[in-house]
Amino acid sequence: MASEQELDAFLRGVEKRAFKRSLYHVRNQESALDIVQDSMMKLAEHYGHKPAAELPMLFQRILTNSTLDWFRRQKTQNALFTRMGDFESNQDGGDFDALESLLLDRDPNQNDNPQNQADRAQTLRVIEEEIQELPARQREAFLMRYWEDMDVAETASTMGCSQGSVKTHCFRAVAALSKALRARGIFL
C-alpha cells in the first residue's frame, strides 16, 4: 500500500504533465484543471490502498477516462461529435516494428543563450498547436508512448485498444506532426 508521502510524491511528479495533456485535449485551462483534480481525487480515494508501483498506470487510465467523461458532457457542442468519433477504436492495427525499438535519449537543451531560448519557445508553441490538431486517439497514443514513456502494451491497456492500433495511431501521429512541422519550417 502506497504511503501518503509516496502518493503525494507521485501526484507532485505527474500533476503538471497531466494538466498539459488534458489541456492539449480539451483546449480549455479550467476544464483541464477540473479533469486533473477529478483524476487525483479518484486515484487517492479509490486506489490509495494500491502499491506505489501501480499508481502510474492507474492514474493514466483514470486521466484518460476523466477526459472522455468531459467530452461526453459536452453533448451540446457540435465539435464534440468529431472528437468523440476520434476516440472510437479503429480496427486497422497494422504492425510497425520501428516503434518497438527503444526510445533514444532525449536531446538535452544544450544552448542557453536568449536567441536559442526564444527559438525553442517558438518551436514549442508550434508543436503544441500541431499536437492539438491531431485526432484525439492519435494524440493520446503519441503522448503516452513518447511523453509518458509508456510501452505499447501499457498504452494499449490504458486506451482500451489493441497494440496494433496503438502502433497505427503513433505512426500516423508522427507522420502528421513531421509533415506539419516541416511545412512550418521546423526540422527536428
Check residue 110 for interaction with other proteins (CB under 8 A).
no
**Looking at residue 106, what DSSP letter applies?**
P
Cell numbers 486515484 label which residue? 43
Work out the angle between the directed axes of helices 152-159 and 55-73 (0-180°, nearest 10). Answer: 40
Confirm or reject binding of residue 69 to other proteins (CB under 8 A). no
Looking at 51, 124, 129, 133, which residue binds other proteins (CB under 8 A)? 124
Q: How far apart are the C-alpha atoms of 180 and 73, rounded to whole Å?
A: 31
| Rounded alpha-carbon distances, angstroms, from residue 22 to 53, 111, 112, 120, 159 | 23, 30, 29, 22, 15
Q: Does 104 bind other proteins (CB under 8 A)?
A: yes
**Beta carbons within 8 Å of 42's beta carbon, 6+ residues apart:** 62, 66
Which of 55, 159, 176, 177 binds other proteins (CB under 8 A)? It is 177
Asked if 174 interacts with other proteins (CB under 8 A), we say yes
Q: What is the grid cell recorded at 99?
A: 516503434
**Using CA atoms in the order 136, 24, 71, 166, what is the torsion angle rounded to 10 degrees?**
30
Closer CB to other proteins, residue 7 or residue 136? 7
Q: Among 22, 25, 31, 36, which residue interacts with other proteins (rule: CB under 8 A)?
A: 36
By CB under 8 A, the count of residues binding other proteins is: 48
Tell me if 17 contacts other proteins by CB under 8 A. Answer: yes
Which chain residues interact with other proteins by CB under 8 A? Answer: 4, 7-8, 11-12, 15-17, 19-20, 29, 33, 36-37, 40-41, 43-45, 48, 98-99, 101-107, 109, 120-121, 123-124, 127-128, 131, 142-143, 145-147, 170-171, 174, 177-178, 188
